Amino acid sequence: MLCISKCDISNYDMEVNNEVKPLSTAALHILLALAESNLHGYGIMQSVKRQSAGAYKLGPGTLYANLDRLLASGLVGETERQLEDGDTRREYCLTASGERVLRAEVRRLRQVVDVARTRLGKLGRDA
């Protein structure tokens, strides 16, 4: 007999929009960095390193591959900023769509953590 508990299926899983999929760790960290401010590539890498207390380091290849996907999906935008010395710098920003996806992902992760705490609590371990 199949038994499904309320904890087994989240509201996130039941959403009609099948286009929304869980974010990769890299994409999640990039969107979190851009939620703070518009940043250039190196700034994103530094922000990710800071926000993860050094536990997650984003290399240039991973960063730009993820930025390409996030740009293509409309979750991130880009602009060019003119520097004082005449050079230009590409900066990335979180779009309104990116903010909605980020908020949905944070809700999904909270549900996962809540279920984990409940299950681990039943095993007598502290989560």
For CA atoms 53, 56, 61, 63, give the dihedral sign: negative
- Is 34 or 1 the better-scoring residue by pLDDT? 34
* Segments in 1-127 forming alpha helices (H): 11-14, 25-36, 41-51, 60-72, 96-122
The mean of the pLDDT values for the chain is 85
Copy the structure tokens of residue 32.
Answer: 């979190």
For CA atoms 66, 68, 73, 75, give the dihedral sign: positive
Residue 16 confidence class, pLDDT cut points 50, 70, 90: very low
Question: Which amino acid, one-letter code, is at 108?
Answer: R
- Is 38 or 88 the better-scoring residue by pLDDT? 38
